Amino acid sequence: MPCHFQNYLHSRQMLCIRDDLSTVRFVDFWQDVCQQAVSMKLLSHKTWALWESDSYEFLVLLFSGLLADKEILIAPNRIKDLELELAEQEIYFLERHNSIGTQQQILQPQKLLLDDDFLNQAQVYFYTSGSTGQPKKIPRTLRQLLNEVQGLEQSFTLPETVIAIATVSHQHIYGLLFKLLWPLASGRRFYLTQLAFPEDVVEAQRKLRFLQIENYIISSPALLKRWTAEVQLEDCMQIYSSGGKLDSGIRPVFNRPIVEVLGSSETGGIAHRHQDDAFWMPFANVDIQMTEQQELAVKTNHAFREDWIFTGDQVQVVEENQPKSPFRLLGRLDRIIKLEEKRLSLDTIEQKILSLQEVEQCHVLVLEHEHRQILACVVVLQQAAQQQFEETSKANFVAALKIQLKDKLESIAIPRQWRFLHQLPQNSQSKLNKNALQALFQTMLFPVVLEQQQHAEEVQFKLEFPAELACFKGHFPNYPIYPGVGQIGFIQHFAKQIWADLDWCNGYEQLKFQDLIRPYTVLQLKLQRKLHKVHFEMSTSDKILASGRLLFSITSDLRAEE
């Protein structure tokens, strides 16, 4: 049967499986969508933002909004700054509505017509950081998204009974396609909860064994690199990875094959590969070509426009002028810069720094400094080097690295400013957080968010406290610690960024500061919200450092008082 949303409108097969193994059928989902669409047709605004942590609710709101002839903007988060930015454009967040109207007004699933007219006019926008770190909106029609799903179906072989399990968010196009739209169009099913840790994935697989259903995993390099050989996948047919390069040496840890997926919000999926350093194979519905400058150009029926899209990636192709030729990525063309009239490749500089024995990961960037450009570098050190770094002065450690680099790079290509972290920071989509990297070289008021996971009213952060943080300065000169008042400050900041209706903190309960936070500390911060109270707990692997509750005024309460 061709892969199409229309095919399963009245199917009684299961679509969504919850943690307790209760299910939602296709026909029930489409009935829910139709009912919500009636209410949404009455909304006056044309464009609505969508952010919903529950995958089923997200899918209902997406399709009901599109059926109500609304444009949907898939938001990367729901922090207060974004809410205010969108509100200035009269764009608000879409939410489930109570049913309005009689039963006769509600279209029945079997009468839905998801034809080309509807698919072509149903407009979805994705936020992407692009190569510059500046967000931009990329338009895609539902027709283009379905084309991409059909391309996945042609490129990969999976049985109809398989279930999708995701560690990535459906708010990103990769998670949306692989976890939700592919099952919806092919008669497959998805596991509701987004899972945060390898152990969670295996626990979910063991639950699903009761249903005798095989699964496939949708994940990212950030999670896969934390996997250990002791955590063995069960009943798993395939692992998909996207959002960045999969480091060499990860595949042997797994007892199942890993398919890397290359793509972007602008182009959609481009190609896939099954081995480290193998050539990339274009998807079934993707054509590629290489320009004279060796830039990869892509043409596909699922991209946001029909003509050739230039990706900014430098490539080597196996067969020139062959639209399905395998290719190898050589780096980003937009990472070739001119510094004091000298042409430099940031990718090449990174490769030379990575060749140092002390360095595990790095990212080189360009900074504006006193009206001129300079190079800066963020480094993740090998474990032994990290210990050495913390036991010596930063200046001496950097000087030693620069001495080694003199044999590998010309002087102008050696970064002048350096920062050291235990992990390169990632955004909520598990991609490199370029804004956070830039912020490392400005006045630092808050700890660095290395990772962030949100599930309903609970959020978990992985935070690092670099020695450059403002709160460490003068407190105390010979033994710096992060003060309690500073901890309350950044907890308030993160809480208000996540829950936009929190206004200001007017009290505390059960505050406990049980241990010190020193430079280079990495810890977990967990925030749990209940009405106007936010409970926090900061901990490392072996102890709790601080905990308590913050009491907030809520914006809606203040408006009611007015």
CA distance 553 to 142: 40
Q: What per-residue confidence (pLDDT) applies to 558?
A: 46
How big is the chain, counted in residues?
A: 562
CA distance 356 to 343: 23
Place of tokens 């560690």: 167
Peptide bond into 472 cis (omega under 30): no
Q: Within 13 Å, how many C-alpha atoms sit on residue 179's CB side?
A: 29
Q: What are phi and psi of 73, to 5 degrees?
A: -105, 115
* Per-run averaged pLDDT (10 residues), the chain, 562 residues: 89 96 96 94 95 96 97 88 89 84 56 90 82 68 97 94 95 95 97 93 94 94 89 95 88 94 92 95 96 95 94 93 94 85 88 96 92 93 95 95 94 96 85 91 95 85 96 89 95 92 91 96 96 96 95 71 46
CA distance 331 to 146: 30
Residue-wise pLDDT tens digits, 5-14: 999 999 999 9
Q: What per-residue confidence (pLDDT) applies to 521?
A: 96
Could you give the domains of the chain?
5-330 (3.40.50.12780), 340-421 (3.30.300.30), 443-561 (3.10.129.10)
CA distance 180 to 182: 6
Q: What per-residue confidence (pLDDT) applies to 191?
A: 98
Query: Can you give the pTM of this predicted structure?
Result: 0.80
Q: What per-residue confidence (pLDDT) applies to 472?
A: 95
Q: What per-residue confidence (pLDDT) applies to 130?
A: 47
Q: What per-residue confidence (pLDDT) applies to 132?
A: 42
The amino acid at residue 468 is E
- Cα 458 to chain centroid distance, Å, stands at 17
Q: What per-residue confidence (pLDDT) applies to 110?
A: 60
CA distance 95 to 89: 18
CA distance 269 to 242: 10
Residues 122, 141 contacting (CB under 8 angstroms): yes
